[in-house]
Amino acid sequence: MDYLDSLNPIQRQAVEKTEGPSLIIAGAGSGKTRVLTYRIAHLIRQGVDPFNILALTFTNKAAKEMKQRIEEVVGAEARNVWMGTFHSIFARILRVEAEKIGFPSNFTIYDTDDAKSLIKTIINEMALNDKLYKPNIVQYRISSAKNNLISPAAYLKDPTLVSEDESSGRPKLGMLYSLYVKRCFTAGAMDFDDLLIKMYELLSKFPDALHRYQHLFKYILVDEFQDTNYAQYAILKKLADVFQNISVVGDDAQSIYSFRGAVIDNILNFEKQYPEMEVFRLEQNYRSTQTIVNAANGVIQKNQNQLEKKLWTENDLGNKITLLRAQSDNDEGRLIADAIAEERLRKHYRNDEFAILYRTNAQSRSFEEALRRRNIPCRVYGGLSFYQRKEVKDLIAYLRLSVNHQDEGALRRIVNYPARGIGKTTIEKATVIASENEITLWKVLENIHEYGLGARTNQAISDFITMIKSFATMQEKHNAYDLALHIAKSSRLLTELHNDKTVEGLNRFENFQELLNSIKEFTDDDEVPEGEETAEFTKDKSLGTYLQDIMLLTDADNDKDDTDKVKLMTIHAAKGLEFPSVYIVGLEENLFPSMMSLSSRADLEEERRLFYVALTRAEQSLTLSFANSRYRFGNLNYCEPSRFIKEVPEEYINSKAGNLERPQKESNNFSTSAIEKAVKFKTTSSVGKSNYKPSGDFKADDPSEIQAGMKVEHQRFGHGKVLQIEGRPDNKIATIFFQDLGEKKIMLQYAKLMISKNTTIEQ
């Protein structure tokens, strides 16, 4: 069957329209990847040279999968398409053009940890208060400036930015930004944001480079366009300025990364930049049941700022969405684990067909514990990345310093690891010398005998420098794996880890071996793309190429665990994924939507888009849950159900609301709709006042004697039955059903309850 015949009419139009600007609005589950890959395949089928096609994604994994699918249609020519993430493609270009902007071609790429480490060093050197100038805050401020193409000089001249810094009590932020950029330049290093800002600088300051890449990339395609930031959009506009064959694919309803600098206006206002563009709306959902699709539509239509579209599907109607109410966060974990166990048996699902999605990583604990108690294997995403583990970063630092001697971050990390007698004081003295002489730390250590730090120290440093230089000389004749293994042995890292026989030590050694395995896998890959031997940029198996590959990996690319486990992750991490059964948990005000999002409509609408993304991850089964109370920062808080629950059209919600509805005497002030019943949480302010008069012999009992199941009397609320007691010993909360008022939660230390022996309570 021809690849075009597998497309629906709108998809086919989007694939066949290859000239000029176009916007493909791709609703959740509407087959956007197929459209994007077939569009590229169609361009090649129509005679376009694949070297003239630039396709940008947000993960290397997505790029690899798309290239494989294109190859199925057009053959090996697909390998010649410029396809990858923004950062990987721009790094590839900057390696070639590095001289123009004053960087070595083997520049180091700093990850977030490297950047924060350098910032911390600068903060200490400037003797600033690290409680005020926290590296996280400083790094975020610098990253925001770069993503908006604001240089250090422009930052220091911007009265708004300067005023904001002064108001926050951090007037030195601009200076820190300036020093950070200088130190990166001196170290021959770029962070992730630099790969964007330096690419823009290359295109802006060097007309020959701009002309070259404008005419190289005659067709530009961008996936997940709603996630682009200001810098990415500015670069795209420059590259597409000559031919204007730019096609962007995205869904404004799934724009959820403003905290990373994503600008939703890029997609909302795309038509203003290209008035002649064509718009294709992919609205048929192939993923979810009609119930889930309609529920998601009902939620997202509450947003004012959006592009017009409405998802529909020919899939089955499916079951209604289940709504669960738990008494506490631990209770929520237990209920979800029980529900998964039951659904797994009833529907014969594998464990990896379930996903539990939450707003913040901190919520994972109760679900992980509950699943393990039920012997249901699970994996929590968002923990420490493989490449962030100490033992892995140690070897990578050796590899980085061997490739780029000016990499100060790597140098500081390994100069005395394993211990070789080069202490912290020595490095501090060397740092002062480097600063006074305006040279790099490596240069000081390389000529250490000139600075007289002591014979033993000088010899230790000289031996270290000689060792690193010997590694560097081996690069031309050895591939990445052979050199890495030699470095691991010669540096004594391998011996150091092998000698640690503790459980933690064995885990570290296994991680170290896994890193070496990944390097071996890299060098054993003999696939050479057709035409690459004549291509302008060639792939090789050198250590430098390997380091670039791993430094540009995303969390999604690092995930190799495809074993049969229930997946627990934040909704942000779940974007782009799909599962037969999805549980969206913690749906409470100030948690989801987040408390931080309630101050503006723009922030609240992004939270609603996040909920929409969560809903549309589900294929067959969807469950929503919330808790009446939750521990946060060590305190028990009463919770109000999320407004998003009520935004789900009532006809798509299971009226049973799970198994949590305890019989209650309803007040006439409450609606009796399915959702209202499920989310109702009665407090003293939500019911009428009682006219109860206490017994003549009323005397409050010791709160520590009150137990679940007891009948009690309250001075104002009357007779009740204790349903549940939870919380810490000094902060116990009793859930009590009162005959005339319904269910109430009361703090025992203030409750003044008398244990009643004979009263009958009708629930």
- Which of the residues are catalytic? 32-33, 223-224, 254, 617
- Comparing CA positions, the residue from 626, 608, 615, 622 lying closest to residue 574 is 615
Residues in the chain: 763
**From residue 376, how far is each of 331, 351, 567, 578, 584 by CA, in Å?**
17, 8, 11, 20, 18
Tokens of 102: 């004053």
Distance between CA atoms of residues 697 and 754, nearest Å: 10
Going 415 to 420 to 423 to 426, the CA torsion angle's sign is negative
Distance between CA atoms of residues 93 and 335, nearest Å: 52
Tokens of 148: 């908006």
Q: What are phi and psi of 637, to 5 degrees?
A: -115, 140
Strand partners, 753: 714
> Parallel, antiparallel, or unpaired for β 354-358 and 322-326?
unpaired
Q: Is the peptide bond before 593 cis (omega within 30 degrees of 0)?
A: yes
Amino acid at 378: C
634: left (phi over 0), alpha (psi -120 to 50) or beta: left
Tokens of 748: 């025992």
Asked if 361 contacts 385 with a C-beta cutoff of 8 angstroms, the reply is no
Asked if 298 contacts 647 with a C-beta cutoff of 8 angstroms, the reply is yes
Asked if 585 contacts 625 with a C-beta cutoff of 8 angstroms, the reply is yes
Asked if 604 contacts 303 with a C-beta cutoff of 8 angstroms, the reply is no
3-class DSSP state of 172? coil
Half-sphere exposure of 263 (CA within 13 A, CB side): 13
Asked if 361 contacts 570 with a C-beta cutoff of 8 angstroms, the reply is yes
Strand partners, 25: 250, 281
Helix (DSSP H) and strand (DSSP E) numbers for the chain: 32, 21
Distance between CA atoms of residues 290 and 315, nearest Å: 6
